[in-house]
A and B are shown apart, each in its own frame.
Chain A
């Protein structure tokens, strides 16, 4: 179980980006973190993975724990060793490396070569396309293949928890469905804990077990995915549906501006 307790993040020593975020990602479950641009979703992931230091950010308050062990204040490589790996948004493959070299680099924290070979085979089994492309330079793969590669690469460190940042970004709907199917399978087959950041709320709530909604560096809403899907505020602001559940027309928006209930 990955738990954040009252995390506060400050950039450049003055800009308060996360204002006391608490959330829990249960083991073997998909937990999604929803919110608009700039809500602090990616910062939350970086606070967990220890990657804030490289951009002059700092966790100033709060605790990040994985199964009772403190992760905050650990440097990024140690967080990976504890079993938490982040997948960045935007399909950040090592462009100049081949597919297989990307996977080898992903296994950096594992010293046993046989288990690395084994891990590579498991990734190829999960993503057969990557086996075909194993010796291709990854910068020239298609967008969907690159997304598969970055997820596969993250699996190479044999993580307990994987932090996925917008895996649907810029992919065709059919590919998105395939990627999400893979995420679901990873949860079911490997008992992987997934913390999924998404802007596409409809998709995310569809595969998630539990969800959080962020706004302005705070968690404003939380609940089982099923409950969130029924929540009228979520429907209005994230799923683009009105009270009755039909698609919203822009004509109505002009007439009546709904106020988010959590902004009291």
Chain B
């Protein structure tokens, strides 16, 4: 029976925060699309996987250096985002939500299949040029890959927050999310902003694919990371960037605490479902999430 040790807890918490930030990055892709277009993207995990494959493939097959393969992955995912919006999502504008949901589920299968088709079924590696030697952060030793992942996450979460809150394009995007018809009447080309949202989700997925791919290796299993997006966004709020960060941190920490304190008693496995129990509880208590917007009701 493990004694309570502050250092063990600290390790779990630090790990939770690091992983949580990286969940937040992936969840951000989901939030961007939901915020701007009201579409629920069930293919977010496959986006991440596909991006990982592009990066790993470029390095493995063409011998590209890390930075180049990351850049290739980002530009590839931007193109994919634009393309999917144009070909698959745009014709579905105005259709029931379920049509979009089913389309993205179909898309997920297509992406999984075509990644295997193009890059083979084996696991590929993404090698970050940062070494393997753990770095001491106070009393906690952390692998450099995780630190880079967390740093990238913080940088881009901050950048996207600024973009949405302060830039004119960000304000226009929020206006589109608020009411498409009124936005159109203001001269905002709604379809352009839909495309932009998908492209931005592509960027975020590419970053997620590279950092998660570097940690876990790239194969079909990488798409499973996307499933963690759901507890993150339900907890934080489907349409909130801050919510994605907080939700990501909660999920990361809960997961690690469950792994550290519950798994030894029950023989493992709680790590994988603890966030979902939290999600179900959140749906009952606060369905719009911690930072999600509530409908303003006038009385």
Interface residues of A (CB under 8 A from B): 49, 51, 54, 75-77, 79-81, 85-88, 92, 94-97, 101-102, 104-106, 108-109, 113, 116, 139-140, 153, 157
Binds A, one of B178-186, B254-262, B276-284: B178-186
Taking the nearest CB of chain A, how far is it from the CB of B96, in angstroms?
A: 15
Interface string of B180-200 (1 = CB under 8 A from A): 111111111100000000000
Would you call B274 an interface residue if the criterion is a C-beta within 8 Å of the partner chain's C-beta atoms? no
Q: Given A92-B182, A94-B178, A157–B187 Cβ distance below 8 Å?
A: yes
Pick the contact of A77: B177, B178, B187 (CB < 8 A): B187
Pick the contact of A51: B168, B177, B184, B296 (CB < 8 A): B184
Q: Which 7 A-B pairs have the closest CB atoms?
A: A80-B187, A109-B187, A139-B296, A105-B175, A94-B178, A77-B187, A76-B184
A153 surroundings in chain B (CB, below 8 A): 186
Indicate if the CB atoms of B174 and A94 lie closer than 8 Å: yes
Taking the nearest CB of chain B, how far is it from the CB of A112, in angstroms?
A: 11
Indicate if the CB atoms of A76 and B187 lie closer than 8 Å: yes
A-B CB contacts (within 8 Å), total count: 76
Indicate if the CB atoms of B180 and A54 lie closer than 8 Å: yes
Taking the nearest CB of chain A, how far is it from the CB of B174, in angstroms?
A: 6
Q: Please give me the residue from chain A that is nearest to B296 by CB atom.
A: A139
Indicate if the CB atoms of A77 and B189 lie closer than 8 Å: yes
Q: Compute how far the CA of A109 lies from the CA of B188 in the bound complex, rounded to whole angstroms.
A: 7
Q: Please give me the residue from chain B that is nearest to A78 by CB atom.
A: B187
A76 surroundings in chain B (CB, below 8 A): 184-185, 187
Taking the nearest CB of chain A, how far is it from the CB of B73, in angstroms?
A: 32
Would you call B286 an interface residue if the criterion is a C-beta within 8 Å of the partner chain's C-beta atoms? no
Identify 21 residue pairs between A and B in the complex whose beta-carbon atoms are under 8 Å apart, listed by A's number: A54-B181, A75-B189, A76-B184, A76-B187, A80-B185, A80-B186, A81-B187, A87-B185, A88-B181, A92-B181, A94-B178, A95-B178, A101-B175, A102-B175, A105-B171, A105-B183, A106-B186, A108-B186, A109-B187, A116-B168, A157-B186
Taking the nearest CB of chain A, how far is it from the CB of B290, in angstroms?
A: 16
B296 surroundings in chain A (CB, below 8 A): 95, 139-140
Interface residues of B (CB under 8 A from A): 168, 171-172, 174-175, 177-189, 293, 296
B186 surroundings in chain A (CB, below 8 A): 80, 85, 105-106, 108-109, 153, 157
Indicate if the CB atoms of A86 and B185 lie closer than 8 Å: yes
Indicate if the CB atoms of A97 and B178 lie closer than 8 Å: yes
Indicate if the CB atoms of A101 and B174 lie closer than 8 Å: yes
Indicate if the CB atoms of B182 and A88 lie closer than 8 Å: yes
Taking the nearest CB of chain B, how far is it from the CB of A48, in angstroms?
A: 11
The secondary structure that dominates the A interface is: helix
Indicate if the CB atoms of B171 and A51 lie closer than 8 Å: no
Indicate if the CB atoms of A92 and B174 lie closer than 8 Å: no
Q: Compute how far the CA of A106 lies from the CA of B178 in the bound complex, rounded to whole angstroms.
A: 13
A51 surroundings in chain B (CB, below 8 A): 181, 184-185
Extra inter-chain contacts (6) besides given A95-B178, A108-B187, CB under 8 Å? A79-B187, A88-B181, A92-B179, A97-B171, A101-B171, A109-B187
Q: Please give me the residue from chain A that is nearest to B35 by CB atom.
A: A96
A85 surroundings in chain B (CB, below 8 A): 185-187
Q: Please give me the residue from chain A that is nearest to B185 by CB atom.
A: A86
**Counting chain A CB atoms within 10 Å of each CB, which of B171, B179, B187, B296 scores highest?**
B187
Q: Compute how far the CA of A129 lies from the CA of B184 in the bound complex, rounded to whole angstroms.
A: 26
A77 surroundings in chain B (CB, below 8 A): 184, 187-189
Q: Compute how far the CA of A140 lies from the CA of B293 in the bound complex, rounded to whole angstroms.
A: 13
Q: Please give me the residue from chain B that is nearest to A98 by CB atom.
A: B171
Q: Compute how far the CA of A105 lies from the CA of B175 in the bound complex, rounded to whole angstroms.
A: 7
Q: Compute how far the CA of A109 lies from the CA of B184 in the bound complex, rounded to whole angstroms.
A: 11
B179 surroundings in chain A (CB, below 8 A): 92, 94
Indicate if the CB atoms of B172 and A108 lie closer than 8 Å: yes
A101 surroundings in chain B (CB, below 8 A): 171, 174-175
Taking the nearest CB of chain B, how far is it from the CB of A156, in angstroms?
A: 8
Pick the contact of B174: A80, A96, A116 (CB < 8 A): A96
Q: Compute how far the CA of A206 lies from the CA of B296 in the bound complex, rounded to whole angstroms.
A: 35
Taking the nearest CB of chain A, how far is it from the CB of B40, in angstroms?
A: 19
Q: Please give me the residue from chain A that is nearest to B181 by CB atom.
A: A54
Indicate if the CB atoms of B175 and A94 lie closer than 8 Å: yes
A140 surroundings in chain B (CB, below 8 A): 296
B174 surroundings in chain A (CB, below 8 A): 94, 96-97, 101, 105
Taking the nearest CB of chain B, how far is it from the CB of A172, in angstroms?
A: 15
